[in-house]
Chain A
Amino acid sequence: MFEFIATYAPQLIVAGIKYTVPLALISFVFAVIIAALVAVLRSYVPHATGIKSIGWRILKFILWFYVWLFRSTPMLVQLFVVFYGLPKLGISWLSPSGWAAAVWVLSLNTAAYASEAIRAAITSIPDTQREAGAALGMTDAQIFIRIILPQAARISIPTLANSFISLVKDTSLASVVTIVEMFYLSQQLAATNFEPLQMYLLVAAIYAIFVSILSIPQHYIQRWADRFVKVQG
């Protein structure tokens, strides 16, 4: 048992550090940026008229469609479409490598869920906050950026942390686009040592350890974000 772990764990951990962790971190950074943009644009109520208002409607429809599409199809299918399907249309610049395809899909998929969480947080800030800002002469943009978003960000943290945990585990799907991350490697090793149970239990344990370590910052971020609210209990 100990020998088994000593033999295989280091290889798996290296694969995790080389692929799983960077895939998750890079995709999460993109996901949060995309999610915040989508959430902000979708919760913005424009006062525009005429051609501008039509432009807003089209933009909002596109954003709704994006969120709907990525939330209602399996990520595995999305990976196949982007990596194997789109190049057939001549769109290979979008996913020149398995890496690019994985980052695209992981980011866009995570962002679709996260944008809903951020949007809900934005809508949960009472309108009285907006009025208080308006009464002080602040512009809509100032109110949004300086009053609404900081408060909404705090509320979104637990849901975003959940998205991040899912994302770390979802990187295992990148195995289907030729990335030899931890899970793919464990499959290859199991095929040679004929110990699938021990092998997959080992890789599961290593995923759990990675997720736990990567989740540590959440505690500190939450504590910092909660500085302005009464801590319950």
Chain B
Amino acid sequence: MLKLEHIDKQYAEHHALKDINVTFNPHETTVIVGPSGSGKSTLLRSLNLLEHPDSGLYTIDDRTIDLSQPVTTDTLLWVRRKTGMVFQQPRMFDHLTILGNIIEAPVHVLKQKKADATKKAHELLQAVDLDNTADRYPYQLSGGQTQRVAIARALAMEPDYLLLDEPTSALDPELEAQVLRVLNGLAKEDQSMIIVTHNMEFAREAADRMLFLEDGEIVFDGTPAEFFSEPTDRIKHFLNAFKFEN
């Protein structure tokens, strides 16, 4: 369980998160939507402390971190092992092969044996349908392929929660579908996921729960059914922005 209480983040001229209180349950897929600048990414990045909120409490399982205090390196690394992250761009380590990218952290952070990590990596690559690319370098793969490798790389650390920050926004629709199929598969396997996305079709299909953020506040927290079938005026306005018809 991930629990945020009274989370606040203020940038120089922008109040990114305002008193956020939310709990993410295990084995659920939570989709976070909202207009640009609403604080979605900041919220997601706070969950693995790539962003450090100014104040609030962050509880993972039975350990609570007071974010108004500096966190120790040990705590930081512990949080990051609990939470895997996939970014908008795949952010491959360009100097390592696809296999090298996936086993890098398992071998050097989790201290797994290289043979074990390699075996696991091949399984993960098979799962994202890319096992034939293990010995290639990232530049030899398409954006959709590297993004699937990025998902495999995050999963190789066996995080309790997989965080995805607009994982398909940089891809064209065909490649986007490949990535979404992988994520949908993970959702069906009850991998705990928190996804920031603009893809409403995917949200409708894969989400167990939806959050709608605006101006640093959670203004909707409920099921996709409620979100799409009984939208508030604000959500209606937001969803209409995705349509072409006038």
Contact = CB atoms under 8 A, between A and B. Distances in A.
Interface stretch (B90-98, B178-186, B213-221, B237-245): B90-98
B73 A136 contact: no
B77 interface: yes
Contact of A228 (B80, B95, B154): B95
B48 A135 contact: yes
Nearest to B91: A132
B153 interface: yes
B87 A139 contact: no
A195 interface: no
Contacts, number: 63
A129 B104 contact: no
Nearest to B138: A228
Name the prevailing secondary structure of the A interface residues: helix
B157 A131 contact: no
Contact of A137 (B81, B89, B94): B81
B119 interface: no
Nearest to B88: A128
A136 B87 contact: no
A136 B137 contact: no
Interface in A83-140: 128-129, 131-139
A146 B108 contact: yes
B139 A146 contact: no
Contacts of B138: 228
B50 to A, nearest CB: 6
Interface of A: 128-129, 131-139, 142, 146-147, 150-151, 154, 227-230
